[in-house]
Amino acid sequence: MDTKRKLTKPIPAAFFSFVFMLLTSGLFAQNGQEVNKTVEYQQKKRDREDYTLIHLKNKWELSAGYGRWYFSEASKSGNPDELFFLPNMGTGTFSVTWHFHEKFSTNLTVGLQFKKDIPASPGLLRVISGEEIKIEGSGGGFIPLEAGLKYNFTGRRLSPYIQASAGLILGKSQYTIVEGNIFEGISRTDFVFNATAPLAGISSGIDYRLDNHFMLELDLKYSLSGKFDSAIGGYERYSGCAVSIKGIVIL
């Protein structure tokens, strides 16, 4: 009786090598995709954090701010007959900025400061009764016009800076006296003073970027002008400090 033998052919080693290559190539491809995604995510994260990259694409900014102006005591007039002194006052600013470098920018700024002291009315009965009245009122303000050069120290979301500026300061003040009575006549006298002088300033602060189109800025500035031809609101020159906060739109 013949015995049949079942022969089993060995699987070639080349087949195992081929399967191994398929598996490892798939794993490497998957790992490569994950690495690429990680690198891309990290790059996007750095781009979001990088302040300077925004201005490589968007070079223009518009800003508006409000703060407080404090006069320097040294700028007060020494005239003992000075009519009045303007108090410290609010200050508003509007600026247009152009970034010509990653960390350098130039800007044009217009400011507005105004204060008015209007006394209470004497009342109709006092006037028609012939009572002697005397009312004194005053007011004044300044308009700084400046061009500035700004340098940001870092390219991060929170970026300290320093800035120098120069321009002109326009000033005006008025002192008004109304006096007399209804029978002899009531007169009004206005003392008006206008002046223009060169202006220089230096400021420092911090920019904080909220997103790709909005920033906040905290600014501390010292300004000094040339001497006025006539005192404005009791001051011989525009000198003092301003603290303000600004909202900035990146165009």
131 and 29 both lie in a single domain: no
Whether 65 and 33 map to the same domain: the answer is no
The answer to whether 227 touches 237, Cβ cutoff 8 Å, is yes
Computed on alpha carbons and rounded to an integer, the radius of gyration of the chain in Å comes to: 36
In a domain, residue 19? The reply is yes
Domain containing residue 39: 13-49
27 and 128 in a common domain: no
- pTM as predicted: 0.76
Give the model's pLDDT for residue 183: 85
Q: pLDDT-based confidence at 1, cuts 50/70/90?
A: very low
Q: Would you say residue 6 lies in a domain?
A: no
Residue pLDDT, tens place only, 66-91: 999 999 999 999 888 888 899 999 99
Same domain, 165 and 71: yes
Within a domain: 75: yes
Tokens of 236: 């011989």
Q: How far apart are CA 156 and CA 212, in angstroms?
A: 12
Asked if residue 208 and residue 171 are part of one domain, the reply reads yes
Residues 166 and 203 in one domain: yes
Does residue 2 belong to any structural domain of this protein? no
Residue 55 DSSP SS3: helix
With 90 as the cut, is the pLDDT of residue 236 above it?
Answer: yes
Q: How many domains does the chain have?
A: 2
CA separation for the pair 65, 48 (Å, rounded)? 25
Give the largest CA-CA distance in the chain: 158
Mean pLDDT of all residues in 170-174: 95
Question: For the chain, what is the total number of helices (H) and then of strands (E)?
Answer: 3, 8
pLDDT band at 129 (very low <50, low <70, confident <90, very high): confident
Output the CA–CA distances (angstroms, integers) from residue 186 to 119, 174, 183, 192, in the order listed: 16, 19, 8, 20
Query: Is residue 131 over pLDDT 50?
Result: yes
Tell me the torsion sign for CA atoms 29, 32, 37, 38.
positive
**Are the C-beta atoms of 204 and 162 separated by less than 8 Å?**
yes
pLDDT in tens, 214-235: 999 999 999 999 999 999 999 9
What confidence tens digit (pLDDT) does each residue in 4-39 have?
555 455 556 665 665 566 555 665 555 556 656 666
